[in-house]
Structure 1
């Protein structure tokens, strides 16, 4: 597949590496990757969608070829939302676009999807395994009061969040992950061979920890009321080892135009089930166009 490379300077001086794919006269679709991935994780899905959309991808700050912030606070949701604005303004100008995101890409995209400043920009949002942290905090408070079983079930799935806050251990662990070792782990999680390999996994894992450290404690302890400004589709992965599908139950309280579809897949369905993920994104866009 052919793409064009771009370098985008953010409002606070970071440099983001972005790519555009396909015919720029087609409807625009922005894809935001999760952790510990970079924009290359979307390529199996881009293969399915490139004939129908003009696709924008980018390495989020701290991942891939983009620059690495020196301060933890520079990974804040507000900065990440500004990055989306910078990328889309540079590459799409005033065009509106559809948005799809996975894992941390989805978590950070919620900041924009619930910001009125994006109301004329984002046409639809497909979220995959990445709830709004504010919504998740409200959900967990409800479960702690009414159903502690569900609360502790999600807490157990989120063990890695606490681990990522360890000052020295967490970054050091990623030095031991070669692309081959990470690929084997993904194959075991997804029960599928020959998945795409992340050659930059050690750096993506190490520096992306800042996403967790900058945002989880502030948002989970002081959640904000955040309402979606566009239609939202939740693509629920039924066997997700890291995000409980039950968190999706909170979304209709914050999304006026909400729909849900379930897929029999694990957390990295973007690489193990790309045709199914792409089809759901496409059908949702069609329904909202």
Structure 2
């Protein structure tokens, strides 16, 4: 059954498209997609989990049917947290929710997950292929072999900071072909040119500032860090070496590449069920 669609408005007036797979009375699970995806990334995972959770997905700003602010500063982690809180207030104004996120959805989710004012509003966090930028800033300062390996995996981030060329490459299709060589994509990704182009503001608004001047962001929320072993963009060491910041941590290294929510939705669903039952205390 297709999800129901609604709209909520963030603090700065940005409208967000929200999709709900209704299961009244079930625990609420909010899913955040990454770049260059939109909420359709979660369609198969949501169908797997719809009998266990009241599943909610949304297009992050700049993607899908949500508004795409033109100013790069509108894509800062503070604005993204306000988006999450707007959706949270809409779908679960009183109780805590579980959070499932991938790639940039996970990167931005670390911001509310480590926000002191939201510690009692998030019951668990499942993070796939998306580290906290603040945690990454401390990780890269080590200048050891693991940090240098991650820098090699992150080459595209520096490319995204170039003027006009990355936008041109997406519009011409050159970049899609290059990224597909790293990890082939299927034909059902439902991405638009806007998803590719607008989302680069996420990198430009946040990455260098956070890596150069990271904050000490901690959480006691139960975190499951999922690292696909063949991820060409994020190393396992960066994703999982975070017990200093998230002591209530479980780590899973799984087979697969970066886009496991699309390639193996059954595995993602089972990981979420296991985490919420065994770690966060939810019983089916």
TM-score scaled to structure 1, two decimals? 0.92
Residue-by-residue CA offset, 1:61-86 (whole Å, 9 max, x unaligned): 00001001111011000100110000
- SS across alignment from 1:61: coil
Matched residue, 2:52: 52
The answer (yes or no) to whether the contact 1:22–1:51 under 8 Å persists in 2 is no
Q: Deviation at 1:2?
A: 3.1
Matched residue, 1:237: 228
The answer (yes or no) to whether the contact 2:33–2:60 under 8 Å persists in 1 is yes
- SS across alignment from 2:78: helix
The answer (yes or no) to whether the contact 2:101–2:128 under 8 Å persists in 1 is yes
Partner Cα distance (2:192, 2:255) in 1: 26
- SS across alignment from 1:224: coil
The answer (yes or no) to whether the contact 1:44–1:274 under 8 Å persists in 2 is yes
Is 1:8 aligned to residue 1 of structure 2?
no
The answer (yes or no) to whether the contact 2:42–2:261 under 8 Å persists in 1 is yes
| Match runs of 1:152-191 below 5 Å | 152-177=148-173, 182=176, 186=180, 189-190=182-183
The answer (yes or no) to whether the contact 1:35–1:103 under 8 Å persists in 2 is yes
Residue-by-residue CA offset, 1:201-245 (whole Å, 9 max, x unaligned): 311010000000000111001100000141100011111000011
The answer (yes or no) to whether the contact 1:115–1:229 under 8 Å persists in 2 is no
Structure 1 or 2: more helix by fraction? 1
Residue-by-residue CA offset, 1:9-50 (whole Å, 9 max, x unaligned): 110010100011031211100000000000000011112101
- SS across alignment from 2:243: helix
Is 1:69 aligned to residue 65 of structure 2?
no
The aligned length equals 280
Matched residue, 1:85: 85
- Return the match for 1:201 from 192, 195, 203: 192
- SS across alignment from 2:237: helix
- Return the match for 1:151 from 147, 154, 173: 147
Matched residue, 1:283: 274
Q: Which runs of 5+ in 1 are unaligned?
A: none
Q: Deviation at 1:199?
A: 3.1
Matched residue, 2:211: 220
Partner Cα distance (1:210, 1:168) in 2: 12
Partner Cα distance (2:187, 2:115) in 1: 34
Q: Which runs of 5+ in 2 are unaligned?
A: none
Single out whichever of 86-95 and 75-84 deviates more from structure 2: 86-95
Matched residue, 1:17: 17
Residue-by-residue CA offset, 1:256-279 (whole Å, 9 max, x unaligned): 210011111110111111111110
Runs of 4+ in structure 1 off by over 4 angstroms are 181-186, 188-192
Q: Give the root-mean-square deviation of aligned CA atoms.
A: 1.8
